[in-house]
Amino acid sequence: MRIAVILLVAWLLQALAARLVRGFHDYMARRTGTADELRRVDTVGNALRNFAAVVLVLVAGMLVLNELGFSMVPVLATAGVAGVALAFGAQSLIKDYLAGFFLLVEDQIRMGDVVEIAGKAGEVKEVTLRYVRLRDGDGYVHFVPNGEIKTVVNRTRTYAFANIDVGVAADAEFDAVFKAMRDVGAELRADAKFGGRVLDEVEIVGVERWELWGVLLRCRMKTLPHERDNVRREFSRRLVLEFQKRGLKTA
């Protein structure tokens, strides 16, 4: 009977915690009007939900074991004897939770971001105080403990640059190539489908490299963070057609 009461109370507390987190999410969602801030609220809410579930499961589990006759006092005493072994595991766990706490507080990672952490790159699918779950371009899922994260490279925060490189012969007419880049950039910004994804005029970077086969020219466009690759592909496709139309040749 006591075990049933413990499980019922744990379930009610879990439902209450989920409701509080949901209320926090809805309140913050009403206060913010940007998609980036909403993703941050989603990330924090998910982490709080997971943390509450872990705490409730641990507490309820200990109470149930106690009711079944498994006293926790000998376990704690054994933990004191084997403190050295447990200390290493606890140290790693505490490191993960502290790192996860600061990841959330400092707003370094949000769900939906494309990041590179601990040698792994991909889209953030889940952020908890314990780990970050990524899915890379091949569809593989990576679970990265927060304590292993030393540097965060966030590729989708605020804006991004789509870099487009074109190889031409050393004696090519650079001004004609640059004009073609500008015209394609202006055409892309005026496009109904892609215009909203481009944040500024095309920027001519100039000569990027001089090789034996010719010269590599570069331009770039400022885009929405998740649209960099789409804009780069479309710009390159249109630039190829523009080169063909104007009789310009690549190396």
Dist CA 233 CA 161 (whole Å):
13
Q: Where do the domains of the chain lie?
A: 2-154, 160-246
What pLDDT is recorded for position 71?
65
pLDDT at residue 81, rounded to an integer? 47
Q: Mean pLDDT throughout 205-215?
A: 90
170-184: pLDDT as tens digits: 889 999 999 999 999
Contact indicator for 131, 145 with CB cutoff of 8 Å: yes
83-105 helix and 35-67 helix, angle to the nearest 10 degrees: 150
What integer pLDDT is reported at residue 163 of this predicted model? 95
* Least reliable range by pLDDT among 99-103, 228-232, 237-241: 99-103
Alpha-helical regions (H) of 32-167 = 35-67, 72-81, 83-105
Backbone angles phi, psi at 22, to 5 degrees: -65, -40
Please identify which residue in the block is written with the tokens 């769900």.
111
Task: State the Cα–Cα distance between residues 251 and 247, nearest whole angstrom.
Answer: 13
- List of residues 6+ apart from 109 with CB closer than 8 A: 43, 103, 115, 117, 124, 127, 132, 152, 154
When pLDDT is averaged across residues 74-86 and rounded to a whole number, the result is: 54
Judged by DSSP in three states, 216 sits in strand
Looking at 41-45, 70-74, 232-236, which range is the least confident one?
Answer: 70-74
Q: Return the amino acid letter for 127.
A: V
Band of the pLDDT at 78, cuts 50, 70, 90?
low
Task: Please state whether 205 falls in left (phi above 0), alpha (psi between -120 and 50) or beta.
Answer: alpha
Average pLDDT over residues 85-106: 76
Residue 28 confidence class, pLDDT cut points 50, 70, 90: low
Q: Given this model, what pLDDT does residue 32 score?
A: 67
Q: Looking at domain 2-154, which CATH architecture does it have?
A: Orthogonal Bundle (1.10)
pLDDT-derived band at 139, boundaries 50, 70, 90? very high
DSSP letters for 84-98: HHHHHHHHHHHHHHH
What pLDDT score does 90 carry? 64
pLDDT band at 59 (very low <50, low <70, confident <90, very high): confident
Q: Tell me the whole-structure pTM to 2 decimals.
A: 0.64
pLDDT above 50 for 73: yes
What is the CATH number assigned to the segment(s) 160-246? 3.30.70.100
Q: What is the mean pLDDT of residues 243-248?
A: 92
What's the rounded mean pLDDT across residues 12-34?
A: 73
Q: Is 101 exposed, middle or buried (0-12, 13-18, 19+ CB in 10 A)?
A: middle
CB neighbourhood size of 31 (10 A): 9
- What letter does residue 139 receive in the DSSP assignment? S
**Banded model confidence at residue 50, pLDDT cuts 50, 70, 90:** confident
Q: Are 146 and 185 in contact (CB under 8 A)?
A: no
- Banded model confidence at residue 36, pLDDT cuts 50, 70, 90: low
